[in-house]
């Protein structure tokens, strides 16, 4: 059977009902707490847990997801929290980031269907100002319930160690690595089982902008 288009896959995933907890990801909270708020771009924001939390901390947030249903839920969450989040329902494979950012976040921006992940992350990173950061948190390994509940992200090549993540980002010139590590996290699966999951956490800081692109973001 042909693989569904990412827009169809994720929209039907969210239409089936609320998916995530609404809470921000613990690593985002841990890493971002203490940073001076500025402009943030959240890639694959889902139902907006991270985006709304960032806005509550004073960040001016743009959050993008391919699923209009997820984006609508993120809008409801922002309204309920009394914060403004600029929400965009778009395929990041083609969406062009506008403006410039002090922070780009991508939490579990992984997919069992087609995703030009590295290109999306690099396009967003190109909009980060000197001193700004890119935080990518990803599943380093499948949860034990993956096979039973269709949460498999398509095989080992789609789970990323911090080194895989750095290779995929390919941000070497003008970037410094602040964090590249795995972190354990306890999670409850669809069948109620709890397990310790492993996440890759990569944080890069832009130290300079190449001379050829200096004119683009302001």
Ligand X SMILES: C[S@@+](CC[C@H](N)C(=O)[O-])C[C@H]1O[C@@H](n2cnc3c(N)ncnc32)[C@H](O)[C@@H]1O
Distance from C-alpha of 32 to C-alpha of 99, rounded to nearest angstrom? 21
| Residue number, 133 or 209, with CB nearest to ligand X | 133
Q: Is 48 exposed, middle or buried (0-12, 13-18, 19+ CB in 10 A)?
A: buried
Dihedral, CA atoms, 61, 26, 205, 158, nearest 10 degrees? -100
| Residue number, 89 or 209, with CB nearest to ligand X | 89
Interface region with ligand X, contact rule CB under 6 A, candidates 54-62, 75-83, 90-98, 205-213: 90-98
Contact status: 121 vs ligand X (CB under 6 A): no
3-state secondary structure of 13: helix
143 φ/ψ angles, rounded to the nearest 5 degrees: -70, 160
Interface region with ligand X, contact rule CB under 6 A, candidates 44-52, 140-148, 154-162, 163-171: 44-52
Interface region with ligand X, contact rule CB under 6 A, candidates 89-97, 141-149, 171-179, 187-195: 89-97
Residue from 52, 55, 59, 67 touching ligand X (CB under 6 A): that is 67
| Residue number, 110 or 161, with CB nearest to ligand X | 110
Residue from 37, 111, 168, 217 touching ligand X (CB under 6 A): that is 111
Contact status: 66 vs ligand X (CB under 6 A): yes
3-state secondary structure of 127: coil
Contact status: 70 vs ligand X (CB under 6 A): yes
Contact status: 159 vs ligand X (CB under 6 A): no
58 Rama sector, left if φ>0, alpha if ψ -120 to 50, beta otherwise = left
Contact status: 115 vs ligand X (CB under 6 A): yes
Contact status: 145 vs ligand X (CB under 6 A): no
DSSP state of 144: T
Taking each helix axis from N to C end, the angle separating 117-125 and 162-169, rounded to the nearest 10 degrees, works out to 70
Distance from C-alpha of 106 to C-alpha of 121, rounded to nearest angstrom? 8
- Residues of the shown chain interacting with ligand X in the complex, contacts defined by CB under 6 A: 6, 10, 20, 25, 44-46, 49, 64-67, 70, 91-93, 107-111, 115
């Amino acid at each position: 059977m042909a693989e569904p288009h990412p827009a169809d896959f994720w929209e039907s995933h969210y239409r089936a009902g609320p998916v995530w907890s609404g809470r921000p990801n613990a690593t985002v909270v841990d890493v971002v707490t203490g940073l001076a708020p500025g402009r943030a771009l959240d890639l694959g924001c889902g139902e907006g847990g991270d985006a709304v939390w960032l806005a509550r901390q004073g960040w001016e947030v743009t959050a993008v997801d391919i699923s209009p249903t997820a984006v609508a839920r993120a809008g409801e969450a922002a309204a309920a929290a009394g914060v403004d989040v600029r929400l965009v329902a778009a395929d990041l494979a083609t969406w062009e980031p506008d403006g410039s950012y002090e922070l780009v976040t991508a939490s579990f921006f992984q997919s069992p269907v087609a995703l030009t992940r590295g290109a999306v992350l690099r396009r967003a990173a190109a909009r980060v100002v000197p001193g700004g950061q890119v935080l990518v948190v990803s599943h380093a390994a499948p949860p034990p319930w993956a096979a039973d509940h269709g949460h498999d992200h398509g095989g080992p090549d789609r789970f990323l160690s911090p080194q895989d993540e750095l290779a995929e980002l390919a941000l070497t010139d003008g970037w410094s690595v602040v964090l590249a590590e795995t972190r354990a996290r306890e999670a409850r699966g669809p069948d109620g089982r709890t397990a310790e999951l492993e996440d890759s956490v990569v944080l890069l800081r832009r130290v300079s902008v190449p001379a050829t692109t200096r004119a683009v973001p302001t």
